[in-house]
Amino acid sequence: MRIAFLGTGVMGASMAGHLIDAGHDLTIHTRTQARAEALLSRGAIWAETPAVCADAQDVVISIVGLPSDVESVYLGPEGVLAAGKPPSLLIDMTTSTPSLARRIHQEASLRGISSIDAPVSGGDVGARNGTLSIMVGGDHDAITTAMPLLEAMGGSIVHQGGPGAGQHTKMVNQILIASMMVGASEGLLYAERAGLDGAKVIESVGGGAAGSWTINTLGPRMLQRDFEPGFYVEHFLKDLSIALQEAQEMGLELPGLIQAHALYARLEADGLGRKGTQVLLTLLERLNEVQSSS
């Protein structure tokens, strides 16, 4: 297919690479052209705006930063739907709001265009390995068309329901991860204070009831003091903010989510928004240093 790909960040670059490997022709637009150089060297074509990128393509796939970015690349004056001949299928893989997913679906439908929301989980490792979990919302026919492209990027692909259902499912994912990140950080801090070998601890607990992607993948990075991003703190905080807003609108009180949101907001305030989510460990270390000195 002729694919317009919007966003080649930590995850998007690998995802686009898998589509090139699968034989598709890519035209690319991203905020910083230098971040697309590796893909351009493999035959992808650069476009100056989302509208130019999408013009006369079969499909557009986006994975950008914030809901405001999603709104801009699809509905803005230089967005996808402003193209002379927009693609017949829109696939947004950004973690965004369910309401925006429904709005894009509605605007696309008025033009006879299909649209699905397909946020992902798995971080930089899943993107590189093509094993992302993809949560899909939208109409059955559109998802059938999109499936070969999704299969090139992901391992688990599940149709969750109508427009916005993929985004709601991603909120469930982020709520689960929020508490696991706190638990993994606290557990490893406890292990260190108890004089245990962190790697051996992960070997034991990672294969038991406490095992998770978080402890098995990010736990070793924490032990190695590797806080570079597989997923940015600032993007995770954005996701947790969306989840909190959606929960409040449903009348839900989720104390674990509230606490995790407060911790990640503190990390961003400390200037760590561009670090990986595993940098939470350093905040808990600082909190305990303050307590031990008081």
Q: Which residue has the tokens 């309401």?
A: 99
Closest to 187 (Cα-Cα) out of 173, 174, 206, 160 = 206
In this structure, is the dihedral angle defined by the CA atoms of residues 189, 192, 196 and 197, taken in order, positive or negative? positive
Which phi-psi region, left, alpha or beta, contains residue 251 (left: φ > 0; alpha: ψ -120 to 50)?
left
Side chain identity, residue 260: A
The reply to whether 170 belongs to the active site is yes
End-to-end CA distance of the chain: 63
DSSP designation for 276: B
Residue of 170, 200, 238, 275 marked active site? 170
Length of the chain (residues) = 294
| Sequence-separated contacts (24+) of 34-40 with Cβ below 8 Å | 35/8, 35/9, 36/8, 38/13, 39/8, 39/13
Provide the 8-state DSSP code for 46. E
Q: List the catalytic residues.
A: 170
